[in-house]
Amino acid sequence: MAKSRRSPQRRKEALSRESIIGASIELLDSTGEAGLTFSALSEHLATGAGAIYWHIANRNDLLVAACDAIIARTMGEHVVRATPRETIRELATRMFDAMDAHPWVGAVLVRVAGQLPMVRIFERIGQQVRALGVPGDKQWVAVSAILNYILGVGGQNAANAQFASVQGLDRAKFLDEVSTAWSQLAPDQYPFARSVAGHMRTHDDRVDFIAGIDLILNGIRS
């Protein structure tokens, strides 16, 4: 009110690490990992390309920060489950859903070994593995098995999503194509791949993912 003049739509608020990360996530969700360029990002933020470097170190830093923002959200919310086993299932399912909603997360996650986003997941699952009563010297292997399985699935999902989007196919169409390709492999060399080609066409990724978690949990128990 005191201000005599305001631009009709304030074009931007002060740039900040948070606003940059937020814009990056939007960009990553809509255009994939390759879509996160400094020119697209600076346009999105109505600023110069170089300005971004005042707040972040480099592109990789930005990618990890964006990934960590998703993971912090995903792992942050409280879990209300009766048993450690159910809690682990819940956490794993959340991870699946997060990587499904943001396919680039899976791809980034597999390259940030030992860094913050991974530690968050590791910690959360680790506490439950401990609560499960797994002896101390077996906890590392148990948690690693669950975590690496999640990362593997995440990477694959990211690859599927990227491959499908490059070809302009939706997910179902894409899986259908892969399934067809597998069913046409040489019968003497690829009998197993052929035999499960049909399953790939009809299966529910999410259900199979959780079945895999259950399988590993059974292995942990024994």
Partner DNA sequence: ACCTGAACACCGTTCAAGT
Site string for DNA, 81-120 (x = CB under 7 A): ----------------------------------------
Among 7, 9, 30, 39, binds DNA (CB under 7 A): 39
The interface partner of residue 86, options being a copy of itself, DNA, none and the CB cut-off 5 to 8 Å by kind, is: none
Among 22, 26, 32, 59, binds DNA (CB under 7 A): 59
Write out the chain in H/E/C secondary structure. Answer: CCCCCCCCCCCCCCCCHHHHHHHHHHHHHHHCHHHCCHHHHHHHCCCCHHHHHHCCCCHHHHHHHHHHHHHHHHHHCCCCCCCHHHHHHHHHHHHHHHHHHCHHHHHHHCCCCCCHHHHHHHHHHHHHHHHCCCCHHHHHHHHHHHHHHHHHHHHHHHHHHHHHHHCCCCHHHHHHHHHHHHHCCCCCCCHHHHHHHHHHHHCCHHHHHHHHHHHHHHHHHC
Binding part of the chain for DNA, among 42-50, 72-80, 86-94, 210-218 by CB under 7 A, reads 42-50
- The alpha carbon of residue 50 and the mean position of all alpha carbons in its chain are separated, in whole angstroms, by 28
Shortest reach from residue 25's CB to DNA, in Å: 15
Cβ–Cβ < 8 Å for 13, 19: yes
Number of residues binding to a copy of itself, judged by CB under 8 A:
60
Vertex 43, ends 39 and 49: CA angle to 5°?
50
66 binds a copy of itself (CB under 8 A): no
Q: CB-wise, 50 or 133, nearer to DNA?
A: 50
Which residues, numbered 149-178, are part of the site for DNA (CB under 7 A)? none
Among 57, 72, 101, 159, binds a copy of itself (CB under 8 A): 159
Shortest reach from residue 220's CB to a copy of itself, in Å: 6
147 binds a copy of itself (CB under 8 A): yes
Site string for a copy of itself, 103-142 (x = CB under 8 A): ----x--xxxxx----x--xx--xx--x-----x--xxxx
Cβ–Cβ < 8 Å for 104, 149: no
Q: CB-wise, 30 or 189, nearer to a copy of itself?
A: 189
Q: CB-wise, 33 or 177, nearer to DNA?
A: 33
